[in-house]
Amino acid sequence: MLKIKNLTIGDGIPKICVPMCSANEEQLIKEADEIAAKHVDIAEWRMDHYENVFDIKRVVSFAETLKKHLADTLLLCTFRTGREGGNPIAFDDNLYFDMNKALIKSRHLDMIDLELFMDKLRLKELIATAHIYGVHVIMSNHDFHRTPGKEELMTRLMTMKRMEADILKIAVMPKNEEDLLTLLEVTQQMKSRVPKQALVTISMGKQGLLSRISGEIFGSSITFATMHGQSAPGQIPYEELQKVLQMIHQNLMSDDI
């Protein structure tokens, strides 16, 4: 379990994260206000879609603006690379690391997403810096083409853990029901192996729907919903997902079943 301000991740109902993917600042502020009004657990700012993404000072300044509008909602900042499903913009790795480091040092966020398949030495430096500045790290890996085998999925998650990420996240694309079951089995195994570790696992698309609603059973502690458009295939509208998660939780807690 992981405590961030007034939110405990990894206990009870999976926490809901809503992405903000607009390019325009005015629209992003509107989205942040709506997210805050609905008391969403986490808002993810997808910086790769931001119109001023190459201006680090502007990014840091606008992160401060978003944080003020989000009130008690946690802010997660994510610069998703094109190879892992982000906006396919041309940039070098220096921008990726410099921007994330500037955001961390600004403290205008609660969590930051760092991708597993970046330079390991620079990642370790960023993670250490994040922990010094009180920013929690989600280390992520996304495969939009397939679901790797169980051993490979476990290897990637355990690598994230060894790098001392606070939350381990993996999202994969299923080709059939067996792929979905593979992801759920790996999730359950990780929960058994490291029960105190915050974990996020997602099987994308229609075939992966079950993975987005069954986290309380298998061990995935954050799930993603949509309000103004999907940031990944298969995301469920926020209000619908909230109702389903509540229903599952109530039935799991009931003595009548």
Q: How far apart are CA 70 and CA 75, in angstroms?
A: 8
Q: How far apart are CA 127 and CA 136, in angstroms?
A: 8
User: Would you say 120 and 149 are in contact if contact means Cβ atoms under 8 Å apart?
Assistant: no
Total residue count of the chain as it appears in this document? 257
In percent, the amount of the chain with pLDDT more than 70 equals 96
169 is an active site residue = yes
User: Would you say 81 and 122 are in contact if contact means Cβ atoms under 8 Å apart?
Assistant: no
Q: According to the model, what pLDDT value does residue 230 have?
A: 59
Q: What is the pTM of this model?
A: 0.95
Q: Is 146 labeled as ligand-binding?
A: no
Q: How far apart are CA 67 and CA 134, in angstroms?
A: 15
Choosing from 120, 169, 175, 206, which is the catalytic residue?
A: 169
Choosing from 142, 191, 228, 249, which is the catalytic residue?
A: 142
Mean pLDDT computed over 181-196: 96
Q: How many CB atoms lie within 10 A of CB 121?
A: 8
Q: Which two tokens stand for residue 236?
A: 């469920």
- Calculate the average pLDDT of the chain: 95
Mean pLDDT computed over 161-186: 97
Q: Which two tokens stand for residue 187?
A: 């999730």
Q: According to the model, what pLDDT value does residue 257 have?
A: 53
Q: Is 214 labeled as ligand-binding?
A: no
Mean pLDDT computed over 233-239: 85
User: Would you say 61 and 101 are in contact if contact means Cβ atoms under 8 Å apart?
Assistant: no
Q: How far apart are CA 93 and CA 73, in angstroms?
A: 30
Q: Which two tokens stand for residue 95?
A: 């921008």
More confident residue, 230 or 103: 103
Q: According to the model, what pLDDT value does residue 256 have?
A: 62
Hey, what CATH topology would domain 2-251 get?
A: TIM Barrel (3.20.20)
Q: How far apart are CA 67 and CA 62, in angstroms?
A: 9
Q: Is 106 labeled as ligand-binding?
A: no
Q: According to the model, what pLDDT value does residue 254 have?
A: 78
Q: Is 242 labeled as ligand-binding?
A: no
Paired strand residues for 16: 223
Q: If we measure between CA atoms, which residue out of 71, 125, 118 comes closest to residue 93?
A: 118
Q: According to the model, what pLDDT value does residue 232 have?
A: 61
For the chain, helix (H) and strand (E) counts, in that order, are: 9, 11
- pLDDT (tens digit per residue) in 156-167: 999 999 999 999
Beta-sheet strand order (sheet of 42-46): 198-203, 167-172, 136-143, 111-115, 74-78, 42-46, 15-20, 222-226, 236-237
User: Would you say 41 and 242 are in contact if contact means Cβ atoms under 8 Å apart?
Assistant: no
- pLDDT (tens digit per residue) in 84-130: 999 999 888 999 999 999 999 999 999 999 999 999 999 999 999 99
249 is an active site residue = no
Contact partners, residue 172, CB within 8 Å, separation at least 6: 142, 143, 146, 147, 148, 153, 179, 183, 202, 203, 204, 208
- pLDDT (tens digit per residue) in 193-219: 999 999 999 999 999 999 999 999 999
Mean pLDDT computed over 219-243: 86
Q: According to the model, what pLDDT value does residue 113 have?
A: 98
- pLDDT (tens digit per residue) in 50-93: 999 999 999 999 999 999 999 899 999 999 999 999 999 988 89
Question: 174 pLDDT band (50/70/90 cuts)?
Answer: very high
User: Would you say 211 and 202 are in contact if contact means Cβ atoms under 8 Å apart?
Assistant: yes
Q: Is 44 labeled as ligand-binding?
A: yes
Q: Which two tokens stand for residue 24?
A: 């325009």
Q: Is 156 labeled as ligand-binding?
A: no
Domain boundaries, the chain: 2-251
